[in-house]
Structure 1
Amino acid sequence: MLLAVVSLFAACSSDDDFNTKEATVSFASDSVVTKESAGIVNIPISVTGVRNGNVTVTVKAEEEGVNPAKEDVNYMITSKTINIKADTLASGTMNVEVKMVDDSEINDNRTFKLTIVSANGAKIEGNASTIVTIRDNDAAFYEKFFGKWNLSGNIQSSSGVSAFSKDVTISGETDETADDYDHVLTVSAPGFINVGASIDCEFHLNYNFDLATKKGTIGIVCGEVIATYGSSYEWMWVTDNGVSYTTDDVTAPWALGENDAFPTTITFPASKSLYFYQPGAGAWRILTDLKLTKK
């Protein structure tokens, strides 16, 4: 059973315990955005004014919008009655604790409304209601790329061609308001290339996904510095167009599988080469037949 979590709480035994000073309660914001995968979320109610007794607030939940979230299906509220004790402070916070239900269904964002329906020991002012939007993480496949992967293929040096397999970590932007969110991923690859010394690499992937077709692309970004050694060496990825080097992305397609299953393997075109390139000196290594495998 979930326990109600509030900034300060106490059961009120009688009306004599309630606040008699001037105090108001209001949702801290008229809207809240959270993720389906967020787990337990605290939605704050602001209490303003000095209190000489307890304040108790009761809330209700209602379906809202064209794709409403359903209580006890898409979310659960721990308790709809929340208490805060007397305090000499001029402000305080109590929280409505909501547990999000994480399903595997791809759907539009869902919404519901919380409303303060009564308050003992305070007046309801400001935001009596707040609209909660639950963002669907099953359609946000960008974040599903985060984690451990293996990058494998063939690598060519002056001594010939050999197979390689390296563990890498893919991360990305978590702030949904940031420009890179849902667009750019970062690959961290320690000890990825050996050129007489083991070279750590970090490079970017351009991410794209179309929910309507359930298909996307991942493109290795070329033309950016991805590795350095001392103050004298730096390298970047480049590719070629059959005639000369270019800084076009090396791009692989991917798609959801049966029942919208996320792919565990992404294969880059065999015809594309990725050059570990030092400006002014040329290519030190050539990578081909690249494949990303989820670990």
Structure 2
Amino acid sequence: MKYLKIFAFSLGALLVTSCSEENKSFNTEAGVSVDMADSQITVKESEGQFFVPIKVDGKANGDVKVTVKVEGTGNNPAQPFEEHNGEWSGNFILVSSTLTISPDQGEASLEFSTVDDFNINYDRTFTVTIVSAEGAKVGTQNSTLVTLEDNDSDPYERIQGNYKVNCFDMNGTARMFNISVKGVAKSSPYYGVLLNVTGLTSACEPIFVGDGSSMQAAFEVDPETGAPMLYLLMPQDIGKCTYADDLRIWALNGYSTAQAEVPGILSDDGRTISFPEGSMILFYAASADFSTQLGGFGAISDFSFAR
């Protein structure tokens, strides 16, 4: 929660110190309008960052500035994440209620972040509505209904989200960095079976691995407690080695190439995934058949995921 408070506060500071628009040249062509690109969208409560697009119709010769408002709607209205009497609460954060679209863009998006409450509830909804536009008329499609889909009643959905890894790196230094745990599409045969963990290689030397390396994990529900669980599967090829084109990045269970499943279990409050004490993932550069090996260039040990 404290990170959300810092984020919300910094957004306010950003808006106050944003660049002046005195020198902006706004559209003067007739017949230009702005509309919400979608009448409705649905995002998971655990999604984190998401975007709501606004489009310009017509040929503009300058910028178009759009101002929106957001308000909770429906039977279970979503509320913005705000402070009230010293307490922070809410379901989403809007970075800025204004958006400037240049003539060569044609479309731009409002940036939002969800705030997961870790509680079972009905889906929440809110409406994004264009209230004014400079350099264009407001079109007929002036609003988008956003549904925040609850993820806490389904164990597979509940374990998904954005986490911070607490661990020790290869040098024994305490580290903390961001990762995401995401499921596959509901249409996939692996829905409810596999998860993708992205960002674990943040503990590695960047010369060896680029952004976006993803590690697959198996999912199951603990048969005794009913708690959601994931299993980090190793050894696993998780991406291309940027240092040498013919090598791959491997995630190993410590210093072994033997098959292993490292279990992580989600806490009752849904905020922490705990792993066995002493667990270690070694990131290792080698060819697909291990006939060529460059060696280890990063590791995490005694790790947990928290949000």
Given the two structures, how large is their TM-score scaled by the length of structure 2? 0.48
Please say which structure displays the higher CA radius of gyration.
1
Higher helix proportion: 2
Given the two structures, how large is their TM-score scaled by the length of structure 1? 0.49
Higher strand proportion: 1
